[in-house]
Amino acid sequence: MGRTAEKVESLVEENPDMADAVAAVLRETDGGESEVEWADVRDEITSGQWGRMIEKGLLVDGVHGFELRDPEEVRSVVGDSGAVSTTKSTDAGDDEDEDDGWTKWDKAAAGGVALTFLGYAWGPARSAIGSTMDTVIGPLNAVLPFYAVILVLALFTGLYSTLLQANLMDTSKMSEYQEQMKAIQEKRERAKERGDDEAMERIQQEQMDAMGDQLEMFKTQFRPMVWIMLLTIPVFLWMYWKLLDGDPSALGTVTFPLVGEVENWRAGVVGPMEAWIVWYFVCSMAFTQLLRKSLNIRTSPTG
């Protein structure tokens, strides 16, 4: 479902009478082919309904009046008669949350992230997570030096981070948000140049509505981060547990460019940042870039 169709459904959910109001505007514009002004529809809809359509971004500035944004998407929801044809699932087993697009599993993962964060501050939690992870990572640590173990972990975390971002982040929607903001800014500049105060007020209302879209874009971007953190924090806690509760000097050495050989993994090499953190981030960033290029995965908005 497109963004405009979602907005129409949102309006109808707030007030079922909005279906008839949107359909009236759709008919007045000949299915989106012509512009419409308040005077054209004032006998069929209220000023409040007209204002909500402007505020929600369904009506955008045209040359002489207003244009209906994405009329085909609008028609797919309300038709020409105002009969709502919703595409949202009403199944009780539907995982998607209608408010923010997060499933119940996403929210459960966010709760898991909050719990795993306890491991950084609370010793028993750190020991429990670290010892559990050691059953998986311990055999690898037994045959490889510590720097190589971190390198393997960085490769693993970089791989699933890239795949999660590619599958959970809607880059097309993010691109749509960016294009919308760019179009609003261009209209604002044109209205400012010709000194049209009335248009400036309408554009300001449109910008306020777009702020909600910006919040949704942030949620879209943050969704894969929840799963990435849920899988990465235990790996980090294992390394932290290994160094904090063991003997860092017994884990071998590593050589950094410009710094030289570092014998203690907890020594600061970039300001207060300890050697193990720096080594992990260097390896992780390098592998992530290689994986994205080799798998041709985009995690930025599409053009």
- Ranked by mean pLDDT, the top range of 27-31, 243-247, 279-283, 295-299 is 279-283
* Overall average pLDDT of the 19-32 stretch: 84
End-to-end CA distance of the chain: 19
**CB 145: neighbour CB atoms within 10 A?**
13
Distance, CA of 50 to CA of 46 (rounded, Å) = 6
Distance, CA of 3 to CA of 220 (rounded, Å) = 13
* Overall average pLDDT of the 172-192 stretch: 76
Residue 82 binned pLDDT confidence (cut-offs 50, 70, 90): very low
Distance, CA of 85 to CA of 108 (rounded, Å) = 32
More confident residue, 268 or 137: 137
CA-to-CA separations, 144 to 3, 64, 152, in angstroms, rounded: 50, 72, 10
Task: For residue 140, give every residue at least 6 positions away whose Cβ sits within 8 Å of its Cβ, in sequence order, or none.
Answer: 149, 152
Identify whether the C-beta of residue 75 lies closer than 8 Å to the C-beta of residue 29.
no
Distance, CA of 139 to CA of 90 (rounded, Å) = 48
Distance, CA of 3 to CA of 295 (rounded, Å) = 29
Distance, CA of 32 to CA of 303 (rounded, Å) = 25
Residue 256 host element (H or E): strand 254-256
pLDDT value, residue 199: 77
> Is the whole model's pTM more than 0.75, yes or no?
no
Percentage of the chain modeled with pLDDT above 90: 9
pLDDT value, residue 63: 76
Distance, CA of 235 to CA of 116 (rounded, Å) = 11
For residue 130, pLDDT over 50 is answered with yes
Ordered alpha helix ranges (H), 169-274: 171-193, 197-244
pLDDT value, residue 92: 39
The neighbouring-strand residues paired with 61 are: 66
